[in-house]
Structure 1
Amino acid sequence: MSRKPASGAVVEGIDFDRWAVVLCKPDAVERDLVDAVLKRIEGAGVCVRARTTLIAEPWQAHVAYRDMLADPGRFPADLPARIDDAYSGQRVTVALAHGGPDIHARLRRLIGHTDPTKAVVGTIRGDLGNDSIVAATRAGRLVRNLVHTSDDPASARRDFGTWYGPGRTLKISDFDRCSVILCKPDAVERGLVDAVLERIAATGATIANRREVTVQSWQAHVHYWDLLVDRDWFPDRDIPACLDDAYAGRSVVVALAYGEPGVHARLRDLLGHFDPTQAAPGTVRGDLGDDSLAAALAEKRLVRNLAHTSDDLAAARRDFGTWYGAGRRDLLIPELPAQSTAAEA
């Protein structure tokens, strides 16, 4: 017997703590204010992506206003009809906004009060709104207030499934926006995985698909292929044995980091020098590392330096196949359309 997924579990692989859905409502589209609204959001330091214009279906508006529809004691009896009148068959524009863990609260403050006449100057509704709840009530319709953003991570998950569709994920251009993070055995053993991932997330990267892996020898060999190919550079050490000693049968944690082009270089800079004693303060290895190349050489082993991130696009593709499996491209997210066919009709 199949089990229904938990409420709101319409998509996986996205860190909805850092992603919000922006809905530019029919009045924003009709008044040609979509660009102005999204520019205001970007001006607040939020990255806006996957903009899509579509024709709203009745069910989408019903889900979007589900809390109001399920609370008839507070709202007019004809609320379903008002929602249908406002949305069904009308153009809306949706987009994804990426920021820090406080993105939902920040965007809600930016858009302002539900009633544009009560929204303060500097908010989107306060500056661009031209309607009021009084006028809407008198006319028996919904207030026209331009834009909605997700209230919290659970709402963002539901909004994403409503407007983009379940099973869809964030657009990435193959691996140029995706890096694989490997938290090495020493990070796991020292209980530093969360600290490492929090440092990476603080750069604005979206962390997804975290998983713990018990390392097989082949994975360590593929990951460190360059050390094996150039093992004659290390005459004092048996590199295959060192890799097996350090990794085989031990636990690591891997995750995907999504960001803008250049994410690979930014994350490599964040990790710091491979020798923790040479890594600068403020880097992961400089602040959290407790080993040194000198100690590793003396003990004829690999240096313990907590984490790895993909060097570049090609490395990210190889790292993904190594740690997730080449057959798991479903984790990488199919591309979202720039604009829906329905909106072009």
Structure 2
Amino acid sequence: MSANGRPMSGAVVNGVDFERWAVVLCKPDAVARGLTNRILEMISDTGVTVSDRMDVVAQPWQPHVVYRDMLADTGHRNLRNLPAYIDAAYANQTVTVALAHGGLGIHAKLRQLIGHTDPTRAVPGTIRGDLGDDSLAVANAENRLIRNLVHTSDDPSSARREYGTWWGPGRRLLESDFDTCSVILCKPDAVERGLVDAVLERIAAAGVTVRLRVDVTVQPWQAHVHYWDLLVDADYFPDRDIPVCLDDAYAGKKVTVALAYGEPGIHARLRQLIGHFDPTRAAAGTIRGDYGNDSLEAALAEGRLVHNLVHTSDDPDATRRDFGTWFGAGRRLLLTSPSGVPLQPTHADR
């Protein structure tokens, strides 16, 4: 901390070394032209790891912070109109941001890769040179910002500032959130039997913080993504038509999802708490053991999936996938780790 109590502007914050991390901003024109995937692929092709991609509807303050040096430059010839140009280009427009991880010198490497500010002056092989379709001359004539697709952090200080701008100040990298976060899925049978509150209360009573409860009407793709392993290994279940079983059990049905926060190891703890997938084999004191009323034997006889009330993510990778499936990949800002947040359900049918 500085003498006035404000954070220092060093390159390392909360364990994030911005000497080796850069922020990639795919601008509104890149999103509008459907070039975001291509841009991130061109960055990845240089050996840089790209992660934590997130779509954001830009609030006016965010591009103001990104362009702070230009806005504060008293010698900038378009200073009078620049705020209006920035607002017109960004406010309430969708951008895509991502993190790029590489070695020392990543910022200069990426700046070289994206190319000159004016795409007409960017050399072939650069992102702006290969994909750009605008020019500074045209932009000046039309009194607007130039459309040049992408921005990357200039240096470690810029990376830190831009990380706080797009992901939230003081945030840890999202990978670490999945180590201490799990998705809870209260299945259709839990909803139909009125057991959602009881299930979430049991999880919260285990010392886990439960928040961001959301009611969802299941689309078929969500069940397919969630149970991808059953679909891929369907030949192991010759007694059931797995695609049909999934659609019958989930499509158009109500489920409730929530996020659970705890210490590393939360995934194993929750899997132990919910109990064996066959409720008749789940121990007393587990959720399925105490509340389950179905059996694998009955499910097999009826050619369906077993009704076992609840799922929690198996591990951090499963949490990432489950979060995107049930909350939406574009809502990662929900993942900010709480501190002592009580169970406060919120409902939003999607």
| TM-score, normalization by structure 1 | 0.51
Partner residue of 1:340 out of 311, 323, 331: 331
Q: Are 2:167 and 1:164 equivalent residues in the alignment? A: yes
Write the distance in 2 (CA, Å) between the matches of 1:92 and 1:32.
Answer: 11
Write the distance in 1 (CA, Å) between the matches of 2:63 and 2:32.
Answer: 17
Q: Mark the CA change 1:174 to 1:86 in structure 2 (over 3 Å): closer, same or farther.
A: closer
Q: Provide, for residues 262-293 of structure 1, a one-character-per-residue CA deviation record: whole Å limited to 9, x for no partner.
A: xxxxxxxxxxxxxxxxxxxxxxxxxxxxxxxx
Write the distance in 2 (CA, Å) between the matches of 1:8 and 1:54.
Answer: 26
Partner residue of 1:79 out of 70, 79, 82: 82
Q: Mark the CA change 1:174 to 1:136 in structure 2 (over 3 Å): closer, same or farther.
A: closer
Q: Are 2:124 and 1:133 equivalent residues in the alignment? A: no
Q: Mark the CA change 1:10 to 1:47 in structure 2 (over 3 Å): closer, same or farther.
A: closer
Amino acid at match of 1:154: S
Aligned twin of 2:95: 92
Deviation at 1:172, TM superposition (A): 2.5
Q: Are 2:146 and 1:155 equivalent residues in the alignment? A: no
Classify the secondary structure of the residue corresponding to 1:125.
helix
Classify the secondary structure of the residue corresponding to 2:104.
coil
Aligned twin of 1:279: none
Write the distance in 2 (CA, Å) between the matches of 1:56 and 1:175.
Answer: 25
Q: Are 2:39 and 1:29 equivalent residues in the alignment? A: no
Q: Are 2:121 and 1:118 equivalent residues in the alignment? A: yes
Answer whether contact 1:10 1:166 (CA < 8 A) is retained. Answer: no
Answer whether contact 1:8 1:158 (CA < 8 A) is retained. Answer: no
Answer whether contact 1:11 1:166 (CA < 8 A) is retained. Answer: no
Amino acid at match of 1:107: L
Write the distance in 1 (CA, Å) between the matches of 2:39 and 2:178.
Answer: 30
Q: Are 2:53 and 1:62 equivalent residues in the alignment? A: no
Amino acid at match of 2:30: A
Answer whether contact 2:26 2:151 (CA < 8 A) is retained. Answer: yes
Which consecutive residues of structure 2, in runs of 5 or more, have no partner in the other structure?
180-263, 269-318, 334-349
Write the distance in 2 (CA, Å) between the matches of 1:37 and 1:110.
Answer: 10
Q: Mark the CA change 1:144 to 1:73 in structure 2 (over 3 Å): closer, same or farther.
A: same
Write the distance in 2 (CA, Å) between the matches of 1:27 and 1:83.
Answer: 13
Q: Are 2:5 and 1:14 equivalent residues in the alignment? A: no
Write the distance in 1 (CA, Å) between the matches of 2:124 and 2:21.
Answer: 26
Deviation at 1:102, TM superposition (A): 1.3
Deviation at 1:340, TM superposition (A): 2.8
Q: Are 2:110 and 1:101 equivalent residues in the alignment? A: no
Write the distance in 1 (CA, Å) between the matches of 2:149 and 2:167.
Answer: 19
Q: Provide, for residues 66-106 of structure 1, a one-character-per-residue CA deviation record: whole Å limited to 9, x for no partner.
A: 00000132131110000000000000000000001111111
Q: 1:42-57 to 2 correspondence within 5 Å? A: 42-57=44-59
Write the distance in 2 (CA, Å) between the matches of 1:171 and 1:50.
Answer: 7
Identity %: 61
Write the distance in 2 (CA, Å) between the matches of 1:175 and 1:125.
Answer: 34
Answer whether contact 1:10 1:167 (CA < 8 A) is retained. Answer: no
Write the distance in 2 (CA, Å) between the matches of 1:162 and 1:51.
Answer: 14
Deviation at 1:168, TM superposition (A): 1.1
Q: Mark the CA change 1:80 to 1:339 in structure 2 (over 3 Å): closer, same or farther.
A: same
Q: 1:133-282 to 2 correspondence within 5 Å? A: 133-172=136-175
Write the distance in 1 (CA, Å) between the matches of 2:130 and 2:86.
Answer: 24
Write the distance in 1 (CA, Å) between the matches of 2:41 and 2:28.
Answer: 18
Classify the secondary structure of the residue corresponding to 2:44.
helix
Write the distance in 1 (CA, Å) between the matches of 2:12 and 2:71.
Answer: 21
Amino acid at match of 2:6: K
Write the distance in 2 (CA, Å) between the matches of 1:30 and 1:37.
Answer: 13
Provide the aligned length of Structure 1 versus Structure 2: 191
Q: Mark the CA change 1:175 to 1:68 in structure 2 (over 3 Å): closer, same or farther.
A: closer
Aligned twin of 1:5: 7
| TM-score, normalization by structure 2 | 0.50
User: Higher relative contact order by CA 8 Å / sep ≥ 6: 1 or 2?
Assistant: 1
Write the distance in 2 (CA, Å) between the matches of 1:170 and 1:5.
Answer: 18
Classify the secondary structure of the residue corresponding to 2:97.
strand
- Superposed CA RMSD in Å reads 3.2
Deviation at 1:53, TM superposition (A): 0.1
Q: Provide, for residues 191-227 of structure 1, a one-character-per-residue CA deviation record: whole Å limited to 9, x for no partner.
A: xxxxxxxxxxxxxxxxxxxxxxxxxxxxxxxxxxxxx
Write the distance in 2 (CA, Å) between the matches of 1:8 and 1:96.
Answer: 18
Write the distance in 1 (CA, Å) between the matches of 2:111 and 2:50.
Answer: 15
